[in-house]
Amino acid sequence: MPVLLEMQGISKRFGGTQALERVDFSVDRGEVVGLLGENGAGKSTLIKILAGVHRMDQGAIFIDGKPVAIHTPQDAQRLGIAVIYQELNLTPNQTVAENVFLHHPQRMNGVLGKIGILDHRRRERETAELLAQLGITGLDLQRKVGELSVAFQQLTEIAKALALDARLIVMDEPTSALPDDEVEHLFDIIRRLRERGLGVVFVSHRLNEVRAICDRVVVLRDGKNAGALPINEATDARLITMMVGRSIDNLYPKRPTTPGDIVLEVQGLTRHGIIEDISFHIRAGEVVGLAGLVGSGRTEVARAIFGADRIDKGIIRLNGKEVRIRSPQEAREFGIGYVPEDRKAQGLVLGMTVGNNVTLAVLRQIARWRHIIDRSVLDSVAQRYVHELQVKPPRIDLPVESLSGGNQQKVVLAKWLAADLKVLLLDEPTRGIDVGAKAEIHGLIDELAHRGMAILLISSELPEVLAMSDRILVMCEGRLAGELSREEATQERILALASGKK
């Protein structure tokens, strides 16, 4: 029997960039295939060709051994192909049931279907049946999707794909915003889909998750096939070498440090109902990890220190002196920078160039005569940090939205390096970026610490927190649940504190 999907010799060029060059890819019924590669390797382009968003320049696509033409998303839908993107394609103000049948309203025609009246009871009944196939019962189908957690929004997307009779489901970074318990729940659902004979493409940068759920792995590098492996042969070392073209000897290049004087001190920081009585300090040259489950208040602590959220009470001291920080601008003036977890929405101005983004935090310093910007100085500053952080391509005139995720994150970091900081707050600094860029950013964090910067590192990836931190603070339900030294910290101890256990 022919395989479910086969893509042969797929090529695609955008202007002067060859995004894909003669790429082969296949998925069979009841198979979960991991699609790996660095940011910019061609994964997104391949997915969008399959989804009908882009047209290939060369190649052929076969479904059940028969050649097919996919020119539009509707073509893909008719062929039973569904893509669940990292930015979910849902309407937040509509209910679960309305979203599930959003693109298939004709299936819900009732007695008066000829004049377009929908059978709402049938829609809810069939939505409940689809969710039951995924092991989900008891979900209020009248709730607006925007009120649901990311995990339940993803389930809505999967149910929507099943409503369209999808035979192949592509999941693009589906776990990037999920806590560990919800990741395992998603894996249970993927296993159910596999048992039903669906093909699943699983795109992720998290190698441990790829090994946990996939049957086979296909790796792209620079728009070409770099190799494929059965999952029992897919070690970290082999996958990393295939992805980046070289071995990465140390993903976490943390060197021993001797912390200096206290730079940042927080005492009794409170925002009622959000965070309560948060107290800690960070010394010069020290990386302090802040761990906890999603919703524990980690991000809210960073935003409060940075002046992005008001606080009800508490004291912040810099180098022993109490300061009042009422806005991000004031935080910047005190030498505090913040790399937010959502770089696209909060860390960058996507329509602006790389150079303009890098210099956003230092415009006052390089302005002359009534806020007139000296373009040559701006370009010089931008070029310096683009070179120092090895942003690729190393051009300051490109729109930042054209860069890969890892290089966009480097631009966010470059913005704050140019600002000459004392304190850097990092919220999920390596989320959604490939292993090569991740190693580079870890190296940069280590270098900044050795230069004497005080760093707060927030991350959902416990291996990252354990490897890069000198001390680890753990939050639970808006409060600090405990502190662990580097020597005594383990994943088990962090999780125990994060879940409220002593």
CA atoms within 13 A on the CB side of 368: 6
Nearest Cα neighbor of 482 from 271, 217, 279 is 279
Give the model's confidence band at 375: pLDDT under 50 very low, under 70 low, under 90 confident, else very high. confident
Higher model confidence: residue 446 or residue 90? Answer: 446
Domains defined along the chain, listed by start: 1-80+167-247 (3.40.50.300), 89-165 (no CATH), 262-498 (3.40.50.300)
Whether the predicted pLDDT of 453 surpasses 70:
yes
**Residue 337 and residue 321: Cα distance in Å, rounded?**
18
**Number of neighbours of residue 64 by Cβ within 10 angstroms:** 15
Mean pLDDT, the chain, rounded, equals: 87
Higher model confidence: residue 439 or residue 25? Answer: 25
CA dihedral 326, 481, 469, 264 (to 10 degrees): 30
Whether the predicted pLDDT of 87 surpasses 80:
no
pLDDT at position 101, please?
A: 82
Whether the predicted pLDDT of 390 surpasses 70:
yes
Residue range 467-488, pLDDT digits in tens: 999 999 999 999 999 999 999 9
pLDDT at position 370, please?
A: 58
Strand order from edge to edge, sheet including 275-283: 275-283, 262-271, 313-318, 321-323
For tokens 């508490």, what's the residue? 314
pLDDT at position 119, please?
A: 67
Whether the predicted pLDDT of 267 surpasses 90:
yes
**Residue 200 and residue 216: Cα distance in Å, rounded?**
11
**Number of neighbours of residue 299 by Cβ within 10 angstroms:** 22
Residue range 108-158, pLDDT digits in tens: 444 334 455 666 788 788 888 888 887 777 778 888 888 887 778 888 888
Residue range 164-192, pLDDT digits in tens: 889 999 998 888 777 677 888 889 999 99
46-55, 143-152, 222-231, 301-310: segment of lowest average pLDDT? 143-152
pLDDT at position 251, please?
A: 72
Tokens of 408: 């966009």
Over residues 429-440, the mean pLDDT reads 80
Q: Where are the extended beta strands (E) located within 434-478?
A: 454-458, 471-476
Nearest Cα neighbor of 443 from 430, 462, 431, 456 is 430
pLDDT at position 211, please?
A: 93
pLDDT at position 206, please?
A: 84
Whether the predicted pLDDT of 203 surpasses 70:
yes
Note if the pTM is more than 0.85. no
Highest average pLDDT, of 31-40, 182-191, 321-330, 423-432, comes from 321-330
pLDDT at position 104, please?
A: 65
Per the omega criterion (within 30 degrees of 0), is the bond before 256 cis? no
Tokens of 162: 């099943």
Residue 20 backbone dihedrals phi, psi, to 5 degrees: -135, 140
